[in-house]
Amino acid sequence: MVQIPVYAFTGFLDSGKTKFIQETLEDPRFNAGERTLLLVFEEGEEEYDFSAYPHKNVYLEVLDQQTVTSGELKALAKKHKAQRVVAELNGMEMVGDLYSRFPENWVVAQEVMFADSTTFMAYNANMRNLVMDKLMGGQMVVFNRLEPGADTTELHKLVRAANRRMDILYDYTDGTTAFDDVEDPLPFDINAPIIEVADEDYALWYRDVTEETQKYHGKTVRFKAQVAMLRREKENMFAPGRFVMTCCIDDIQFCGVPCEYKDAKKLRSKSWVMVTATIRAEKHYLYQGELGPVLTAISVEPADPAQQDVATF
């Protein structure tokens, strides 16, 4: 089955998505004649100008992001013999909900978010779940309508709370652009003999160790967690972890790491423990075939509960 790459552009209304897609499709380096299915899930004031494209194999379809089905998307790709898809998504809908309805051979090649810097923090204050949804899966965010010299600290912090790998581009009103180059040191020393993870830093450590497991391979860590038992591995294994909230109460989930421990059976589920363990990078069923952190306990000791039941970024 031939894979069809999807270039997804997210963001709220009037954030600059249409303008960017228009300019991209005008660029012969991107538009070299490939048959392109242009899906528009949100119509703004700007319209697409097909006369400006160097090649005419671009086919526009306006759809409802809430109701579109996998079958409809598959039929449109077949109708236009699409070699790739460019999608302008509706900012008021969750990205993952749409991705789950993509045909089997559609693969997201790139996801870019556009944000109006003058309204972005207000969106975050009132619709944080939608903001975090766009930030968590994207490769780059473009903040436009910035005044030269504007303080970008809060924008930077918000992005990094959701995604430490996302590129951040600032687009200024004077026509200049600049990539964010602020380094974000981790709040714990991964080169220490024992990596000490404070209670308030568990969420950040969990995300980092699961995203960049190899850099932790062979290291030793100490952290406070709750006991969770594994369904498939009931002998000498448990999963110490914390409940983590990314953006809102609705997305709280337990984030634990599989851990070998000879006395695992003696542990009480949901009890608090201080775990000291070595880390190795290997495949485990919790990671669905991918490499992830697996611990070998050096010690597991009873501990007082963390001050906050739910860990946050």
C-alpha closest to that of 138 among 70, 89, 200, 76: 89
pLDDT at 252: 84
pLDDT at 210: 94
* In 66-201, alpha helices (H): 70-79, 95-99, 120-126, 128-137, 153-162
Residue 6 in contact with residue 87, Cβ under 8 Å?
yes
pLDDT at 9: 97
Task: Give the chain's residues under pLDDT 70.
Answer: 246-251
Contacts of 11 (CB under 8 A, 6+ apart): 17, 89, 91, 113, 114, 115, 134
pLDDT tens digit sequence for 277-288: 999 999 988 898
Rounded distance between C-alpha atoms, residue 169 and residue 153, angstroms: 13
Rounded distance between C-alpha atoms, residue 48 and residue 25, angstroms: 10
Identity of the residue numbered 213: T
pLDDT at 248: 56
In the chain, the domains with their CATH numbers are: 4-179 (3.40.50.300), 195-312 (2.40.50.140)
